[in-house]
Amino acid sequence: FIRLQDLIDQNALQGKRVFIRADLNVPQDDAGNITEDTRIRASVPAIKAAVAAGAKVMVTSHLGRPTEGEFKPEDSLAPVAKRLSELLGQPVELKQNWVDGAGLEGLQAGQVVLLENVRVNKGEKKNSDELAQKMAALCDIYVNDAFGTAHRAEASTHGIAKFAPVAAAGPLLAAELDALGKALGAPARPLLAIVAGSKVSSKLSILKALADKVDNLIVGGGIANTFMKAVGLNIGKSLVENDLVDEAKAIIDIMAKRGAQVPIPVDVVCAKEFSPSAVATVKDVKDVADDDMILDIGPKTAAQLAEQIAAAGTVVWNGPVGVFEFDQFGEGTKTLALAIANSKAFSIAGGGDTLAAIAKYNISEQVGYISTGGGAFLEFLEGKVLPAVEILTQRAAK
Ligand code: 3PG
């Protein structure tokens, strides 16, 4: 695909109308205050570059999952406009009902406007050609910088790229793809992946895709329980998916045939109940009782896995290995997080819980790349083609 930087190098933005699709879908509290602004910060470089190159800049994003055609106050990007303006150090006016170009006629070079929640428009989710054509007509250059929404084929992430005079990838989208490509395309070996979370079912396709690729597949959380059951261990009353025990066995077998491994915990941290005040007990995996609930990996397991992380060339991390929200079940996740921080391996991390763990253990500076994608990051790990990227690539090939 064409990169925004290529166009800037050709001085192609001067005086041009540039439409940037960002992912500014940030969490807010009930009062509408932004609680986490990473995605807004991550979108700033593209906008600043376009401003510096003399473009008339329009930025849009979705926020949440509003009902089409029914704009409600809580769907508004107004808090995002305010935050973006602070980060850019220049005014960012929010434009309503912009699809037909109203209020955009007088846009000046170097000016930035934010176009209200794109998902309120009829046809956005369905990727309607009619809406995509209208949006394409607003600009000379379309820039997709929304990695977090790259797995969605919507009018502003996909359709518009067919119709805009020029379609390019922004620096964030490009950086995410570069980092993921480095981790999974031609990785420095050993390639180690941590796939953790409560359910095998929600990550089965990732586990299967990685089983053919990685040298070590560390499973954690409820996912590990199903794998422990698959090798015949008692997991007490821990969260488990009995219908996926055979799938877990198959993954272990595929890995073993390639000389790769799924390390099974040797010790775990158990409790009799799931609560913030639950008493944590470290047990050898052979001693887990019928009324035990496994809520973290034990210290011996964590130390072994930390050694494997230290020896890895590449680490891909998605999901905490224990209930780290409760400190007594957070040691496993903390040990692995610190091992990643101290490792020379190229590391990439993504997903909401993983980002929360990175923040809790304060290692963001030491992770090679932190993805802004949730669903998009997971779909990339599954080996799926991201439609918003595919269309940019097709456009560039023409
Ligand atoms: C996300 O938060 O993962 C992206 O912004 C995509 O949002 P969506 O799942 O509502 O499409």
pLDDT in tens, 7-59: 999 999 999 999 999 999 999 999 999 999 999 999 999 999 999 999 999 99
Helix (H), strand (E) counts: the chain: 14, 14
Ligand 1 neighbourhood includes 152 CB (under 6 angstroms):
yes
Question: Is the pTM here over 0.80, yes or no?
Answer: yes
Residue 222 annotated as binding site = no
d(CA 287, CA 280): 14
Residue 159 DSSP code: I
Distances (CA, A) of 196 to 224, 237, 287: 7, 19, 23
For residue 348, list its beta bridge partners.
316, 369
Q: If pLDDT is split at 50, 70 and 90, which confidence band does 352 have?
A: confident
> Which residue carries 């964030």 as its tokens?
172
For helices 171-184 and 387-397, angle between their N-to-C axes, nearest 10 degrees: 100
CA 109 to chain centre: 33
256 Cα–ligand 1 center, Å: 36
In contact, 224 and 196? CB cutoff 8 Å: yes
In contact, 85 and 92? CB cutoff 8 Å: yes
- Asked whether this chain's domains 4-170+386-397 and 189-344 adopt the same fold, the reply is yes
Rounded-to-5 percentages of helix, strand, coil across the chain: 45, 15, 40
Q: Residue 39 catalytic?
A: yes
Lookup: tokens for 68: 């089409």
Q: Supply the pLDDT for residue 47.
A: 98
**E strand residue ranges, the chain:** 17-21, 56-60, 92-95, 112-115, 141-144, 166-169, 191-196, 216-220, 267-271, 281-284, 293-297, 314-318, 346-349, 369-370
d(CA 236, CA 342): 34
**Candidate from 35, 62, 354 with most ligand 1 atoms within 8 A of CB, to mutate:** 62
Ligand 1 neighbourhood includes 25 CB (under 6 angstroms):
yes
Q: Which residues neighbour 226 within 8 Å (Cβ) at sequence distance 6 or greater?
A: 200, 240, 241, 244, 245, 248
| Closest-lying ligand 1 atom to the alpha carbon of residue 373 | 3
pLDDT at 342 over 90: yes
For residue 281, list its beta bridge partners.
270
In contact, 121 and 99? CB cutoff 8 Å: yes
Domain boundaries, the chain: 4-170+386-397, 189-344
Residue 119 annotated as binding site = yes
pLDDT at 398 over 90: no
> Mean per-residue pLDDT for 107-135?
98
Q: Residue 298 catalytic?
A: no
Distances (CA, A) of 300 to 76, 166, 266, 304, 339: 49, 55, 7, 6, 14
Q: If pLDDT is split at 50, 70 and 90, which confidence band does 126 have?
A: very high
11 Cα–ligand 1 center, Å: 33
Helix ranges (DSSP H) in 185-292: 204-211, 222-230, 245-257
CATH (residue range 4-170+386-397): 3.40.50.1260
292 Cα–ligand 1 center, Å: 36
For residue 60, list its beta bridge partners.
21, 115
| Closest-lying ligand 1 atom to the alpha carbon of residue 62 | 5
Ligand 1 neighbourhood includes 23 CB (under 6 angstroms):
yes
Residue 181 annotated as binding site = no
Q: Which residues neighbour 230 within 8 Å (Cβ) at sequence distance 6 or greater?
A: 245, 246, 248, 249, 252
Per residue in 109-144, is it b (16+ CB within 10 Å) or e — as a string? eebbbbbbbbbbbebbbebbeebbebbbbbbbbbbb
Q: Supply the pLDDT for residue 36.
A: 92
Ligand 1 neighbourhood includes 117 CB (under 6 angstroms):
no
What does the pLDDT look like over 372-391, one tens digit per residue? 999 999 999 999 999 999 99
ipTM of the complex: 0.99
pLDDT at 80 over 90: yes
Lookup: tokens for 211: 């089983």
Q: Does domain 189-344 have CATH number 3.10.20.30?
A: no
67 Cα–ligand 1 center, Å: 15
